[in-house]
Amino acid sequence: MRVQLNLLGLVLYAQILPSGAAAAQTPNDSSFLLHTADVRRSPSPFIGNGRIGVVIPPLGIGAAPSYKAGLYEHGTDDVPRIVAMPAWNGIGIFDGHDWITPHPAPDGSVRRYDQVLDMRSGTVRTSYDWVNGGARTGIRVEQFVSRADPSLAVSRLEVIPQQAGRMRVRFALTGWPPPERLPLARLPRADPSWKPGDIWYPGHMVVRSRESRRDRSGARLEMTSTPVGRTTVLGQVAAITWGMNLRNPVTSTIASGDTALVEIGFDASAGRTYTFSQLVSSVSSDEAQQPLEQARREVEAGRARGFDRLVRDNARAWLRRWETDIEVEGNPELQRVVRSMLFYLLCSAGSGTKLGIPPMGLSSAGYYGHIFWDSDTWMFPPLLLTHPDIAHSLVAFRTRTLAAARENAKLNGFRGAMYPWEADERGVETTPHFAVQNARSEIHVNGDVALAQWQYYLATADSGWLAAEGFPVIRETADFWVSRAVCEPSDERCHIENVVSVAEGLIGVTD
């Protein structure tokens, strides 16, 4: 069928494909590929499966931020923030002379660079030659966060030296240093000199335990950590394997401070390919009572299936998602843009999470990872039409946090439910103090929340859901509007006074 879809302000005619149609059309469709040959481009892309998102570094190696949906912290005098998980992608390569720098200088050390994000499978492939004096090393990295296995991330590294010599490859789980915090919970004014990075830093995880050891198949790294100010425990397990063609291999394991790592040294032959694989599971105590043990089980199950099977399972799970697609006829470049919009929504939202989507998705700590009206009004409609099971998570977040919205209304002297301008994973008001007028008066968010609930019913005709989940939210927001309105006996109309407009420079607006 054909529908008219408003996607982030862009009006399209979209074709909602029947099951199996996309599979027949996508194998050679370049609009599924995002490609760059610029190693210094910015920003980096990210990939995800709706539960975990990770930024892909330019060279495909080196620690880069990754985020888990719903995992937040709360530092003293700060606002709650989505956290950067301990890095699990800190791959290092020693070419016999130096460690390859994850952020290359403009000195020509990177040659034949190519990075492709294949949206059909959420997979990034990075390839280049690293030139260091007289040494030249080919690097190939393939990475994905599995759509078939919500906690798993998979990497495969190929190293092809063009000269013989001793090389080393390192894999690590590594905690991030604590941020230099601003007391945003009490600062009355924003500093005009602040840049986004000054305030949108990710929350911090405190490493509680770490372990690194050899096992019969390669090496195993383990780590537990806790978000500052929260009791959630995150368990992470990495299994690393390598080929049997390493000559004179020496393996070193270190577990100290905020790091667990394994380093494999070997004698390399010119022109030979050396392959390393890493499988990582990240499980929180919100998902399993014993998160570290669950992560161990998932890593073992993934290792038993093998890399090729994991690749196929992930591709198959993504292909099922692309059975519903948005097609733009006659404009391949626009098709790529629209498809990338849908892809990044799918990277940031999943079925059954009961979570909204932060404005920057799972790509960064932008806007602290808080949930705004963007989730209900801009991100929800295209997901509702294409992937209603995922869209349900966005409206379910508001149902799950209804009690917090009721409490917020009570604290502000109103009845019903007053949904936060900025919400953390618990649905609590988390707006920085310098923007307190938005928390108190940018109340159109309550209309956005209620409208999304009604739209879900209109799209699904699920009256059972409406009675049990949607209507309580709509009723409570209606009660809020009644208590927020001012009615004069001499006037036949009521007014909603002192509102911050959608255009946030308009403060103190009536109606």
Q: Which residue has the tokens 């690590």?
A: 172
Catalytic residue among 73, 158, 329, 504: 504
Residue 70 region by backbone torsions, left for phi larger than 0, else alpha for psi between -120 and 50, else beta: left
Do residues 95 and 135 make contact, with C-beta atoms less than 8 angstroms apart?
Answer: yes
Are 221 and 258 within 8 A, CB to CB?
Answer: no
Residue type, 205: M
Minimal CA–CA distance to 203: which of 64, 55, 84?
A: 84
Q: Please provide residue 501's backbone torsions phi and psi, each rounded to the nearest 5 degrees.
A: -70, 165
* Distance in angstroms (rounded) separating the CA atoms of residues 126 and 51: 23
Compute the half-sphere exposure of residue 126: CA atoms within 13 Å on the CB side of its CA.
23
422: annotated active-site residue? no
Burial group, residue 428, by CB count within 10 angstroms (0-12, 13-18, 19+): middle
What is the DSSP track for 332-397?
Answer: HHHHHHHHHHHHHHHHH--TT------TTTTS--GGGG-B-THIIIIIHHHHHHH-HHHHHHHHHH
With beta carbons less than 8 A apart as the criterion, state whether 86 and 100 touch: no
Which residue(s) pair with 52 in the sheet? 68
Q: Give the rounded distance of the alpha carbon of 266 from its chain centre.
A: 36
Structure tokens of 313? 């399972």
**What amino acid occupies position 423?**
A
The identity of residue 204, as a single letter, is H
Count of CB atoms situated within 10 Å of the CB of 126: 23
DSSP-assigned states of every residue in 158-178 = EEEESS-EEEEEEEEEEPPPP
- Partnered with residue 136 across adjacent β-strands are 131
Measured CA to CA in angstroms, residue 272 lies from 53, 61, 98, 109, 171 at distances of 33, 20, 20, 21, 21
β partners of residue 261: 172, 254
* Residues forming the active site: 504
